[in-house]
Amino acid sequence: FQEMGAKVVKVLDIREREQSYDPLMQEYIEECTGVFMTGGDQLRLCGLLGETPFMERVRYRAQLGEITLAGTSAGAAVMGHHMIAGGGSGESPNRSLVDMTLGLGILPDVIVDQHFHNRNRMARLISAISAHPDKLGIGIDEDTCALVEADGLLQVVGKGTVSIVDPGEISHTNQSLVGATDPISIFNLRLHILSYGDRYHLHQRVILLPDG
């Protein structure tokens, strides 16, 4: 991070939930301009940080655009209010393919999946969205960033793609009627595949075409 221009870097090695209540940790958040959350286990991240004074302050400042909040792998998965905790890949969409729980709610209206095309997780994200059709699905490839501004504008940076799964106009799904391992039907689901420089507005749910 220092090689990329960060003047001061502090590693907050939070291993116990009680540390997230430490006033010193909150002071660090008041002083910083960016927070990077590590990968690993998204359930552990939420267990350590969820609904703590530390995380409340991070979320507040990030949503105001006062700090840049970033995460890789599990650190990206925790961004939504509903979070993919685990599951399989490469199958037809079905309820058993995805395990859901609550995330950190930085972007409350989205469900994020990562290592997306690299690990063939489209069916997993569609399975999650079929259970939460009020949310927007975002699948992020490796070596790729979905950069979201405070106003909801998303821009793609990096080598791969960002997939947007929009259920806003679905006309039918049998998600609640079939068995856990049975394939899910979902009609009129909208899919966008974005690459470097492409932009999408999360609130308006529209692609922003390049100027000219």
Give me the DSSP letters along 146-176.
EEE-TTSEEEEEESS-EEEEE-TT--EE-TT
30 is catalytic: no
Q: Token digits for 41? A: 């286990």
Is 91 an active-site residue? yes
- Per the CB < 8 A criterion, the answer to whether 75 and 37 are in contact is yes
Residue 117: the pLDDT is: 96
- How is domain 79-212 classified at the CATH fold level? Rossmann fold (3.40.50)
Catalytic one of 56, 66, 73, 192? 73
Active site residue 20: no
Look at residues 94, 179, 193 and name the one whose alpha carbon lies nearest to residue 146: 193
Between CA 116 and CA 125, with CA 120 as vertex, the angle to 5 degrees is 60
Q: Which residue has the tokens 């009609």?
A: 187
Q: Where are the domains of the chain?
A: 1-71, 79-212
**Tokens for 63?**
């949503």
Catalytic residue among 115, 127, 130, 132: 115
Return d(Cα 151, Cα 51) in angstroms, integer: 24
Which H or E run includes 25? helix 23-31
Question: Which pLDDT score is estimated for 211?
Answer: 66
Where do the DSSP E strands lie in 67-195?
68-71, 82-87, 98-102, 110-114, 136-140, 144-148, 153-158, 162-166, 172-173, 186-187, 190-194
Per-residue pLDDT of the chain (212 residues; tens, 9 = 90+): 889 888 999 999 999 999 999 999 999 999 999 999 999 999 999 999 999 999 999 999 998 989 999 999 999 999 999 999 999 998 899 999 999 999 999 999 999 999 999 999 999 999 999 999 999 999 999 999 999 998 999 999 999 999 999 999 999 999 999 999 999 999 999 999 999 999 999 999 999 987 64
Residues 56, 66, 91, 142: which is the catalytic one? 91
